[in-house]
Chain A
Amino acid sequence: MLAFLCKRIFILIATLFLVSGVIFLVLRVIPGDPAQIILGIQATPETLQTLRHKLGLDLPLIVQYGNWLGGILRGDFGQSIQYDVPIASLILSRMQVTLPLAVLSIFFAVIFSIPLGVYAATRRNQVGDYGVMLFSQVGLAIPQFWAGILLILFFAVHLQWFAAGGFKSWGESPLLALKSLLLPALSLGLIRAAVLARLTRSCMLETLGEDYIRTARAKGLAERVVVYKHGFRNALIPVITILGLQMGELLAGAIIIENVFHLPGLGRLVFLAIGQRDLPVVQGVGLLIAFIIVVVNFLVDISYGAVDPRIRAGEEGA
């Protein structure tokens, strides 16, 4: 287990190093000089040069990269150009929106999709199954931002139960903060649920067709035990894998949903920062998202063991 962990951590660090290089280079290759964007289209060449020097953009690329990486190793992500505050504190405050949003939307995705998927699988080709498949088909077809707008129109404009967006900070009122994340998490979660329900259904069907299920039934076990103990646990593995992969998609989806609900989250931060060529912010957030995805995948790998004892046994044997 220790060797396994060491290997994973080494891969994690190597991945992040690689990602940092790619992010840094990509941002230098795309057209759009930060100094020009900050100073606008009327600025004179001398003014641009002065600002480039101030921002350290006139240094050789390798030196800029080294400075950035060195700073991160010391825990210093640098200063945001547009906001004029340390990036670490900026990211920290934005995480308080995006992370709960992601977790909440996964929660919604799971509580809707897995029961629905299992239900559909056990009632294959019956009305219930068709109903679930219809829901999932519709869910797949709806773009997230549109789902968000529909939820706003119904719950905020029509019923006036929720604000039409915005975020109350956790410090002000944890309850209101949670409430302001509910609709966005629902619009992210429901659409994830559509994908996951389909996946759960097909995995369940596949597992229920296995020989050991026939054996279990032949043993005379109750149908409930067959489905949940023997079928469900085995069907869960691909579902968890996809759920882990979706984490990355979720953080990307947050960019759109945060714009629709005007939440001050990471997605909006990076969206604005790209437009303003606030490069240190884009780099910092990019690296952080890569870090989150790598860590989540690491956790997914570990969770297989929890679900399926065979995987645990396999590792101990290795």
Chain B
Amino acid sequence: MNRRTSIWFGTMLITLALSLCGLWTGEALAQNPVYGETLTVTLSAEPPGLDPTTSPAATIKRVVHYNLFEGLLKVDRTGKVVPMLAKSYTASKDGKEYTFALHPGIKFHDGKPCTAEDVKFSLERILDPKTAAPYRMYYEGIETVQVVDPLNVKITLKKYDSMFLFNIARGDAVIVPRQAVDKLKSQPIGTGPFKLAEWKRGDSIVLVKNTDYYLKGIPYLDKVIFKFIPDPSSQLAALKAGDVDVIAYDMAPENVAALEKDARFKVLKGHTTTDVIMAMNHSKKPFNDPKVRQAITLAIDRKAVIQGAMSGFGTPIGSHMDPTNPYYVDLSGLYPYNPEKAKPLLAEAGYPKGFEAILKLPEPYAYARRSGEVIADQLSKVGIKLTLEVIQMGQWVDRVFKNADYDLTVMGHAEPFDIEIYGKPNYYFRYSNPKFQEMLKKAEEEINEQTRKKIYADIQKLIADDFVNVYLFVNPALPAMKKEVQNWWKDYPTIAVDATEVWLQK
């Protein structure tokens, strides 16, 4: 190596090192949030009103939860329950008393202070039957809510409930102002980092920064616009044309590959809490026979369903729990695809030639319709002939959900941590197993975290072994956005589209 080449080589090394440093500092700079700017986010459905406490609609929580309204606690982006309006809380030894200490200086958007009185009012309001709160049952374990002083509130439970803190973090338990409670549906007043500026019905909802927010330094954005675009191709076109900055969480999976080729955009690939299952009606023949249910489970190739219906996005599950849940155990390999074993099982159950059944599919959900088509094909190979019936959501609620008038149906259960539905014999699967009910009760009453974890693992296994339903996959979260959008949520362990700590790189 002569002198000249070594100088050249050295320069190259230095350049390389510098550019690597540059990359690093670039990365570091990216962590430094920028203030200001407007972010336009598209959601596919407009919320029916903006009060998350009197309507169960997930579309409401996606706009208001964390952005406009806050609860004592929240589920963070990793799925953990952490303080929110409460800066801390303490629990009594028997787990029946919780004392929450509020952040000082919290104000509602109308300028009035938010105190322990409002906490008491909000929780008692949900419990009041006259409010007709759809999720009242989650809070019925509360015996009293006492104001200790303006910044401290004590909640006493009838008995220990391991789900209590999680429920307090739900979007139904947000703290609302006494003085403006009747108008929340159209004039929401909360404590969140953003305030409602305008609701152009049928078009968009505009939020502006709450400059009085009690946590200093956030939010970064001046304005967040939620724009409602129902059609997935129109959403994509709006993103590409620059009309919107983010497709909130549910880009159509078939469009991901094409968008990723475009250097202006990025797609995050995460989880939701929506467990997609093929439910089976246990009150009807032949689905009351566990052998038939096992045969159906073995005859369905989940991977092929995910490939065919979701373009490969989505995580296979073996029980009714999603991977963002801290109690999740992976059972997707417990009963793998095995159509050869399905046929003898059907013969044992008295159906050597298979049978015919109707699979009802809810019209609004593409994942359900498409999964249904793949499943019908797979089951036909073991002799089960399905007729597909696409029905309107209203009919689904009426026929399938309320009256269990169905054979099979595909539905995504969006509620986080909803394994308790298997403990209700009247739920639309009509699954009734006293052992499950007993174990669920134990889990909810268990104070020791490790023991509880063990019980939840056991009950996940129990409903898998009982083949209650065919557990298909967890719906993917596919938020898509311009490269400049920073700190957007990847996973959705709770129902919220939170813009609090999002910022736009210039």
Q: State yes or no: do A and B come from one complex.
A: yes
| Contact between B48 and A31, CB atoms less than 8 A apart | no
Determine which of B228, B229, B237 lies in contact with A149 in the assembled complex, contact meaning CB atoms within 8 Å. Answer: B237
- Any chain A CB within 8 A of the CB of B134? yes
Assess whether A54 is interfacial by the CB under 8 Å rule: yes
Task: Check: B77 CB closer than 8 A to any chain A CB.
Answer: no
Residues of B within 8 A of A153 (CB): 237
Q: Considering the chains assembled together, what is the distance between the CA atoms of A32 and B363 in angstroms?
A: 14
The reply to whether the CB of B129 lies closer than 8 angstroms to some CB of chain A is yes
Give the contacting residue for B48; candidates A32, A38, A259; CB below 8 A: A38
Name, among B130, B200, B228, B233, the residue most crowded by chain A CB atoms within 10 Å (CB to CB). Answer: B233
A29 nearest CB across to chain B (Å): 12
Using known A-B contacts A32-B392, A156-B237, A157-B241, determine if residue A262 contacts B231 with beta carbons closer than 8 Å.
yes
For B134, the chain A residues whose CB sits under 8 A away are: 39-40, 42-43, 47
Question: Nearest chain A CB to B246's CB is how many angstroms away?
Answer: 15
**A31 to B234 Cα, complex, angstroms:** 31
- Asked if B397 contacts A164 (CB within 8 A), the reply is no
Interface check A50, CB cutoff 8 A: yes
Do A46 and B399 contact each other (CB < 8 Å), given the known contacts A82-B49, A84-B49, A166-B227?
Answer: no
Q: Which of A39, A47, A163, A169 contacts B243 (CB 8 A)?
A: A163
CB-contact partner of B202 in A32, A156, A264, under 8 A? A264
By the criterion CB–CB under 8 Å, are A264 and B203 in contact? yes
Q: Which residues of B contact A290 (CB under 8 A)?
A: none
Residue of A nearest to B200 (CB): A264
Q: Is the CB of A83 within 8 A of B241?
A: no
Q: Find chain B residues with CB under 8 A from A51 CB.
A: 132
Give min CB distance, B6 to chain A, whole Å: 51
A62 at the interface (CB under 8 A from B): no
Q: What is the 8 Å Cβ interface bit string for chain A, positions 33-75, against chain B (1 contact, 0 not)?
A: 1001111111110110011001000000000000000000000
> B133: CB under 8 A from chain A?
yes
**Distance in angstroms between the alpha carbons of A94 and B203 in the assembled complex:** 11
The one of A30, A36, A156, A262 in contact with B227, judged by C-beta atoms closer than 8 angstroms, is A262
Q: Are A164 and B398 in contact (CB-based, < 8 A)?
A: no
CA A268 – CA B45 in complex, angstroms?
Answer: 11
**Chain B residues, Cβ within 8 Å of A41:** 397, 401
A163 adjacent to B49 (CB under 8 Å): no
Stretch at the interface among A13-21, A220-228, A270-278, A301-309: A270-278
B56 at the interface (CB under 8 A from A): yes
Given contacts A160-B242, A260-B231, contact A38 B55 (CB under 8 A): yes
> 8 Å CB contacts to B: which residues of A197-231?
none
**CB-defined contacts of A265 to chain B, threshold 8 Å:** 202
Nearest-CB residue, chain B, relative to A153 = B237
Contact with B241, one of A145, A163, A277 (Cβ below 8 angstroms):
A163
Interface centre among A39, A46, A50, A277 (most CB of B within 10 A): A39
Chain A 121-140 interface mask (CB, 8 Å, partner B; 1/0)? 00000000000000000000
Q: Which residues of B contact A40 (CB under 8 A)?
A: 55-57, 134
Minimum CB–CB distance from A42 to chain B (whole Å) comes to 6
Chain A, 142-156, contact with B by CB distance < 8 Å: what is the 0/1 string? Answer: 000100010011001
B203 and chain A: residue at smallest CB distance:
A264
Question: A277 touching B394 by the CB < 8 A rule?
Answer: yes
Which residues of the partner chain B approach A160 to less than 8 Å between Cβ atoms? 241-242
Pairwise interchain contact B185-A84, C-beta atoms closer than 8 A = yes
* Chain B 171-201 residues near chain A, CB threshold 8 A: 185-186, 200-201
State whether the Cβ of A269 lies closer than 8 Å to any Cβ in chain B: yes
Is A178 positioned at the interface, with any CB of B under 8 Å from its CB? no
Contact with A along B386-415 (1 / 0, CB 8 A): 000000111101110110000000000001
Docked Cα-Cα span, A156 to B243, in Å, equals 10
CB of B137 within 8 Å of the partner chain: yes
- Cβ-closest chain B residue relative to A168: B203
Residue of B nearest to A90 (CB): B201
Residue in B closest to A85 when the chains form the complex, CB atoms: B186
> Are B243 and A166 neighbours in the complex by a CB distance under 8 Å?
yes
Cα A259 to Cα B203 in complex, Å, equals 11
Query: Residues of A contacting B394 with CB < 8 Å?
Result: 30-32, 37, 275, 277
A36 and B231 within 8 A (CB): no
Chain A residues with CB under 8 Å of B398's CB are 31-33, 36
Interface size on B, residues (CB 8 A): 44
Judge whether A107 is part of the interface by a CB distance below 8 angstroms: no
Task: Compute how far the CA of A153 lies from the CA of B186 in the bound complex, rounded to whole angstroms.
Answer: 35
Cβ contacts A223-266/B at 8 Å (1 or 0 each): 00000000000000000000000000000000000011110110
Closest chain-B Cβ to A142's Cβ sits at a distance in Å of 15
Q: Are B49 and A262 interface neighbours, CB within 8 A?
A: no
Please determine whether A259 and B49 come into contact, CB atoms closer than 8 angstroms: no
A275: which B residues are within 8 A, CB to CB? 364, 393-394
B399 lies within 8 A of A47 (CB): no
Does B241 lie within 8 Å of A32, measured CB to CB?
no
Closest CB in chain A relative to B350 CB, distance in Å: 33
Q: Give the distance in Å from the alpha carbon of A152 to the alpha carbon of B56 in the complex.
A: 35
B495 shortest CB reach to chain A, Å: 12
Are the CB atoms of A83 and B201 closer together than 8 Å? Answer: yes
If A262-B230, A262-B234, A278-B48 touch, whether A54 touches B132 (CB-CB below 8 Å) is yes
- A157-B134 Cα distance, complex, nearest whole Å: 42
Bound state CA distance, A163 and B57, in angstroms? 30
B132 near A272 with CB under 8 A, answer no
Q: How far is the CA of A268 from the CA of B231 in the complex (A)?
A: 12
Q: What is the CA–CA distance of A145 and B233 in the complex, to the nearest angstrom?
A: 11
Give the residues in chain B near A276, CB-CB below 8 Å. Answer: 48
Q: Is A167 an interface residue (CB 8 A)?
A: yes
Docked Cα-Cα span, A264 to B185, in Å, equals: 20
Contacts of B227 in A (CB 8 A): 166, 262
Q: Is A165 an interface residue (CB 8 A)?
A: yes
Provide 30 A-B residue pairs closer than 8 Å at the C-beta atoms, listed in order of the A residue. Answer: A30-B394, A31-B398, A32-B393, A32-B398, A36-B397, A37-B394, A40-B55, A40-B56, A54-B132, A82-B49, A83-B48, A84-B49, A85-B201, A90-B201, A93-B201, A94-B202, A145-B231, A156-B243, A157-B237, A160-B242, A163-B238, A166-B227, A166-B238, A167-B203, A169-B200, A261-B234, A264-B202, A268-B230, A269-B202, A272-B202
If A46-B129, A85-B201, A90-B201 are given as contacts, then 16 extra A-B residue pairs at C-beta distance below 8 Å, sorted by A number, are A32-B393, A32-B397, A37-B397, A40-B57, A50-B132, A81-B48, A82-B48, A84-B186, A85-B186, A149-B233, A152-B241, A260-B231, A264-B200, A264-B203, A268-B202, A269-B202
Closest 10 CB pairs of A and B: A32-B394, A264-B202, A40-B56, A82-B48, A31-B398, A164-B241, A164-B237, A264-B203, A50-B132, A39-B134
Using a CB–CB cutoff of 8 Å, the interface residues on chain A facing chain B are: 30-33, 36-44, 46-47, 50-51, 54, 81-85, 90, 93-94, 145, 149, 152-153, 156-157, 160, 163-167, 169, 259-262, 264-265, 268-269, 272, 275-278
Binding site for A on B (CB under 8 A): 46, 48-49, 55-57, 129-130, 132-137, 185-186, 200-203, 227-231, 233-234, 237-238, 240-243, 364, 392-395, 397-399, 401-402, 415
